[in-house]
Chains A and B, each alone.
Chain A
Amino acid sequence: MSRQVNQSRQVDRHRGGTLSRRSFLAGSAAMVALGAAGCAPAARAGGGVTLRFYEQKQEVLAYFDDLLRRFEKERGGVTVVHDSTVAIAPQFVRNEPADVGCFNDNLELARYIKRGVLGDLSDLPSAHTVRTDIGELTDQYATYPGRTSVLPYSLAAAGVIYNKKIFRDHDLPVPETWSQFVDVCEELSRAGVTPIYATDRDTWTLWQGLFDYSVGSLVAPGEFFRRLKELGTDVGPDSEVSFEKDFAVPMERAKTISSYFNPDHAVRAYADGNLAFGKGEAAMYLQGPWALGQIALVDPDLEIGTFPLPVSENPDDRQARVNIDLGLWIPTASPHQDEARELVEFLMRPDIINAYNSDNLAYSTLQDAPPQQDERLAGLQEYVDRAAFYQGAGTFVPTSIPLGNYLQAAIRSGNFEGMLRQLDADWRRLAGRGATV
């Protein structure tokens, strides 16, 4: 993506004239120079410091570009290059990580936290403005003793996206208990409306939605996986916790939910789902806020709401699935610690972080942050406010266990118990060769 930006800059430079060979060569040289500046952390431009800022979330590349330009102007003497390469691993493999990273806080980032390559940010003033219940979420994946390795920047909350018009037309309430949810699905089926649109072909959509939502309000994933890790190779049907035992009820829910899927769910992909839901072909969709932009492209006026999936008979059990969509970190290997910290402080400024989150369908991580104003997400606000949330169980499963594929098979065969036994066996095997996260 940064390459594309460079190219467009080059095109701008030559707009209005034919591209001569000399100007082409000059342009190429400029591109090479820009590229080199992007690769070498120690590169200096005009005597000032050049920072490399890593952020690769497609939807907000331009947004962060603007923020970086603002920082350059306000700070003076510092140039920030926006690194948006897709993979995070190569920069650490080369031992040339970006000076500041802004990345999804997940198991992948946890590997870097655990090995201590991300520096401590606890002494930054902004570190104390972050909500502690959100800060604790990052510790569920991995910690490094005595360090705050990541400052949560943006919290995304997900639940069941529903088509308000379909609900209104069939006079259906937003379900608050499991039996109400099943009733809603039954009524929709009877009326010939697809209750839930699922996209099995993109297997991540299965664990993100069906699996995580079914588990999260019944079993606290952070705690479950902490104990599972302690057990290691001892995980089995008789151990203190296990997939087979603890996830049995959640997977009964998942099995029931999957019976309300669109008939062709097995061969539908994520893009098909956004299109179909945007066209009003289904009442509900187990997706997160990231899908809303795509759905709006299909029908910008579609009335959409979100509610957390109820999986028990007690409405108070309901929780929202959240993830730290972006977190800020500074690798210990960065030679520009001071400037990097200045950039982090700049991005953490309440006016900037709160504006970013309200502009991008997310929640600010600061204490006393203003609520998310978007209608489509209003149904989740109270859950975020009172920290009634969990990080999806699927995000704790290492990618060496193909959870999405297992779900695909289980939905087809209905054998969710077999899948849970398989997960226990896979977990034992991973623990046996010391290959956790």
Chain B
Amino acid sequence: MTHRTSATTLYRRKSYRRGSYRRERRVDRVYYLFLVPTLLVFTAFVVIPALIGIFYSLTDYVGFGEWSFLGLSNYAALFSDPRILEAYGFTLGFAVVTVVVAQVIALALAVALTRRIRFATTLRTVFVIPMVVSGIVVAYVFNFLFSNSLPAIATAVGFGPLEESILGNPDLAWLSIVIVSAWQTIPGALLVYTAGLTSIPTDLYEASALDGASPWRQFRSVTVPLIAGFILINTILGVKGYLGVYDVIVGLTGGGPGTATSSVAMTIFGGFTGGDYAYQMANATVFLVVTALISVAQIIATRGRAVRL
């Protein structure tokens, strides 16, 4: 209490002396102190290592011992390496497909669960379970399902296309990764959407119903605009997460068959054991830029239409 009073007094006195509206809205400096620990940790464990990594991407460093400066040749080699370009193509395509699939299902589930249906609470709990299970565990369980159970069922019912495991098929293996990634990330998105939907005042629905709006029209004209901010944040977080896809692939296909499902994160990680440290650091730097650009583009594209976050 004492602290708050003194802070308020200080605030009032300063604002009185300076007199402007802007100054009056000024926050107490003590709040900036709260940021210090996070900033320190972020700088020490994210910014500095990233800068060191970017520096080594300009060298031929292998992780230990001597190195020499190469300039941009790692980057030049990177852009002409078909395997790296293939990994980017796969990762971006995978992120787009998965984010659409996961958002549509999560939103549909959230709409259903916020209606007064039976067992809504129980169902919500059940739907959230995938979120608390580790990705690699989920991937191994699904690996078993895709390799053994699904082909066995398909054979029993005589459904040809699925008699061979999709994990062994270079044209279909990516589907398994979409399915498992979506299954795993839908709960998080679902929770965000549930929060968004419950924040919409019910009188808006009542008013639109009086005007004769169908449920679909209500969804398009009331629900979607009012949860646009939630859609935006789910999409950005989703794309960011899917771009870094690693553990699910390791558990399901190991990047195969062939290199059909090798993600960028997997190629980067391969560099640490393969003595390709500097080259993959260049890859990581490019990936950082690509990820940042995608996030910024998403924010700009949805600005104005979305509710401020």
Instruction: Write the residues of chain A forming the contact surface with B, with a CB cutoff of 8 angstroms.
Output: 89, 92-93, 95, 107-108, 111, 115, 117, 200-203, 264, 266-268, 398-400, 402, 405-406, 408-409, 412, 426, 429, 432-435, 437
Contacts and interface: CB of A to CB of B under 8 A. Distances in A.
A107 B147 CA distance: 33
B193 interface: no
Contacts of A111: 62, 275
A267 B146 CA distance: 9
> Which 9 pairs from chain A and chain B are nearest by CB?
A409-B258, A266-B168, A399-B274, A267-B147, A400-B274, A92-B64, A267-B165, A433-B77, A400-B276
B17 to A, nearest CB: 55
26 contacts: A89-B64, A92-B63, A92-B64, A92-B65, A93-B63, A115-B65, A201-B254, A203-B254, A266-B167, A268-B147, A398-B274, A399-B270, A399-B276, A402-B83, A405-B254, A405-B256, A408-B256, A408-B257, A408-B258, A409-B256, A409-B257, A409-B258, A412-B170, A412-B258, A433-B73, A433-B77
B258 A266 contact: no
Interface of B: 60, 62-66, 73-74, 77, 80-81, 83, 146-147, 151, 164-165, 167-168, 170, 254-260, 262, 270-276, 279
B155 to A, nearest CB: 11
A426 B276 CA distance: 13
Nearest to A201: B254
A105 B154 CA distance: 46
Given A108-B275, A405-B257, A409-B259, 20 more contacts: A89-B63, A107-B275, A115-B66, A201-B254, A264-B151, A267-B165, A398-B275, A398-B276, A399-B270, A399-B274, A399-B276, A402-B255, A402-B259, A405-B254, A405-B258, A408-B258, A409-B260, A412-B168, A429-B81, A435-B279
Contacts of B270: 399-400, 402
Contact of B77 (A108, A402, A432): A432
A433 B63 CA distance: 16
A267 B167 contact: yes
Given A93-B63, A409-B257, A400 B77 contact: no
Most buried by B among A95, A108, A406, A435: A435
Nearest to A407: B258
Contacts of A405: 254-259, 262
A117 B272 contact: no
Contacts of B275: 107-108, 111, 398-400, 435, 437
Nearest to B273: A399
A266 B257 CA distance: 8
Contacts of B164: 266
Nearest to B252: A201
A406 B82 CA distance: 14
A402 to B, nearest CB: 6
Contacts, number: 100
B75 to A, nearest CB: 10
B272 A89 contact: yes
A284 to B, nearest CB: 21
A38 B60 CA distance: 31
B257 A434 contact: no
A266 B165 contact: yes
A28 B90 CA distance: 47
B170 A409 contact: yes
Given A266-B168, A267-B165, A433-B74, A108 B273 contact: yes
A65 B64 CA distance: 29
Contacts of A429: 77, 80-81
A70 B147 CA distance: 48
A268 B257 CA distance: 12
Contacts of B273: 89, 108, 399
Nearest to B276: A400
A200 B173 CA distance: 14
A434 B168 CA distance: 34
A400 B271 contact: yes
Contacts of A409: 170, 256-260
Given A115-B65, A434-B60, A437-B275, A406 B165 contact: no
Contacts of B276: 398-400, 435
Contact of B64 (A95, A398, A432): A95
Contacts of A201: 147, 167, 254, 256
Nearest to B259: A405
Given A400-B276, A429-B81, A435-B279, A117 B258 contact: no
A101 to B, nearest CB: 14
Contacts of B257: 200, 266, 405, 408-409, 412
Contacts of B279: 400, 433, 435
A267 B255 contact: no
B274 A406 contact: no
A201 B257 CA distance: 8
Nearest to A87: B273
B291 to A, nearest CB: 23
A107 B275 CA distance: 9
B258 A406 contact: yes
A417 to B, nearest CB: 15
A408 B168 CA distance: 9
A266 B172 CA distance: 13
A55 to B, nearest CB: 19
Nearest to A426: B83
A93 B64 contact: yes
Nearest to B73: A433
Contacts of A92: 63-65
A201 B65 CA distance: 35
Nearest to A425: B82
Contacts of A432: 77
Nearest to B66: A115
A259 to B, nearest CB: 16
Contacts of A93: 63-64
B71 to A, nearest CB: 12
B280 to A, nearest CB: 8
Contacts of B151: 264
A412 B172 CA distance: 14
A111 B73 CA distance: 22
Q: Most chain-B CB neighbours within 10 Å: which of A200, A402, A432, A437?
A: A402
